[in-house]
Amino acid sequence: MRQEQVMQVSEQRQWDRLMQMAQLGAIPGDGVNRAALSDLDHQSRRLLLSWALPLGLAPSVDALGNLFLRHEGTDPSLPPVLAGSHMDSQPKGGRFDGIWGVLAALEAVQAIREAGIATKRAIEIVAWTNEEGGRFAPGCMGSMAFSGYRPPGTWDDVKDKDGLRFGDELARLLAAEADIPRRPLGFTPFAYVEPHIEQGPLLEAEGLDIGVVTGIQGSRWFLVEIAGKTDHAGTAPLSLRQDAVQDMLRAITALNALTADPEDVLRFTVGRVEVFPNSSNTVADLARFSIDLRHPDAAVLTARGDAVAATVQGAMVKCRATVTETFNALPARFDPMVQDATEAAARRLGLGINRMPSGAFHDAQFLVPLCPSGMIFIPSRGGISHHPAEYSTPGQVANGAAVLAGVLVDLADA
Ligand code: GLV
Ligand code: MN
Ligand code: MN
Ligand code: MN
- Pick from 361, 384, 387, 390 the residue to mutate for probing ligand 1's pocket: most ligand atoms within 8 Å of its CB: 361
Q: Which runs of E-coded beta strand occur in 153-276?
A: 191-197, 210-216, 218-227, 231-232, 267-269, 273-276
pLDDT exceeds cutoff 70 at 59 = yes
Do residues 32 and 109 share a domain? yes
How confident is the model over 43-48, as a mean pLDDT? 98
- Pick from 386, 387, 390 the residue to mutate for probing ligand 1's pocket: most ligand atoms within 8 Å of its CB: 386
CB 117 within 8 A of CB 414: no
Indicate if the alpha-carbon torsion angle 255, 258, 261, 267 is positive or negative. negative
Which residue from 371, 375, 403, 344 is spatially nearest to 121, judged by alpha carbons?
371
pLDDT exceeds cutoff 80 at 106 = yes
Give the structural domain span for 288: 218-329
33 CA to middle of ligand 2, Å? 13
Domain end, chosen from 294, 329, 364, is at 329
CA angle 35–181–149, rounded 5-degree value: 60
Indicate the burial class of 237 (C-beta count within 10 angstroms; 0-12, 13-18, 19 or more). Answer: exposed
- Per-residue pLDDT of 405-414, as tens digits, reads 999 999 999 9
**Alpha carbon distance 58, 166 (integer Å):** 27
Do residues 284 and 317 share a domain? yes
Backbone phi and psi for residue 14, each to the nearest 5 degrees, phi listed first:
-65, -40
Coil/strand/helix, residue 91:
coil
Instruction: Give percent of the chain with pLDDT exceeding 70.
Output: 99
Do residues 324 and 349 share a domain? no
Do residues 19 and 78 share a domain? yes
280 CA to middle of ligand 3, Å? 33
Q: Domains in the chain: how many in total? A: 2
Name the average pLDDT for the chain: 97
Do residues 185 and 108 share a domain? yes
88 CB within 6 A, ligand 1: no
- Per-residue pLDDT of 3-42, as tens digits, reads 666 899 999 999 999 999 999 999 999 999 999 999 999 9
Q: Which ligand number lies closest to the CA of residue 98? A: 2
Question: What dihedral do alpha carbons 348, 353, 356, 360 form, nearest 10°?
Answer: -90
361 CB within 6 A, ligand 1: yes
53 CA to middle of ligand 1, Å? 30
pLDDT exceeds cutoff 90 at 1 = no
Strands 31-32 and 26-27: antiparallel
pLDDT exceeds cutoff 80 at 2 = no
Do residues 384 and 399 share a domain? yes
Q: What is the ipTM of this complex?
A: 0.94
CATH of the domain at 305: 3.30.70.360
- Pick from 32, 92, 96, 132 the residue to mutate for probing ligand 1's pocket: most ligand atoms within 8 Å of its CB: 132
118 CB neighbour count, 10 Å cutoff: 12
Predicted pLDDT of residue 409: 97
Domain end, chosen from 291, 310, 329, is at 329
Position 313, amino acid: Q
Predicted pLDDT of residue 6: 81
Do residues 13 and 116 share a domain? yes
- Per-residue pLDDT of 141-195, as tens digits, reads 999 999 999 999 999 999 999 999 999 999 999 999 999 999 999 999 999 999 9
How confident is the model over 49-73, as a mean pLDDT? 98
Do residues 324 and 341 share a domain? no
CATH of the domain at 128: 3.40.630.10
Do residues 164 and 225 share a domain? no
CB 96 within 8 A of CB 198: no
Do residues 212 and 360 share a domain? yes
Domain end, chosen from 299, 329, 359, is at 329
**pTM for this prediction:** 0.93
292 CB within 6 A, ligand 1: no
Do residues 277 and 403 share a domain? no
140 CB within 6 A, ligand 1: no
Do residues 223 and 275 share a domain? yes
360 CB within 6 A, ligand 1: yes
193 CA to middle of ligand 3, Å? 17
- Per-residue pLDDT of 250-297, as tens digits, reads 999 999 999 999 999 999 999 999 999 999 999 999 999 999 999 999
Q: Which residue's alpha carbon is at the smallest distance from atom 5 of ligand 1? A: 360
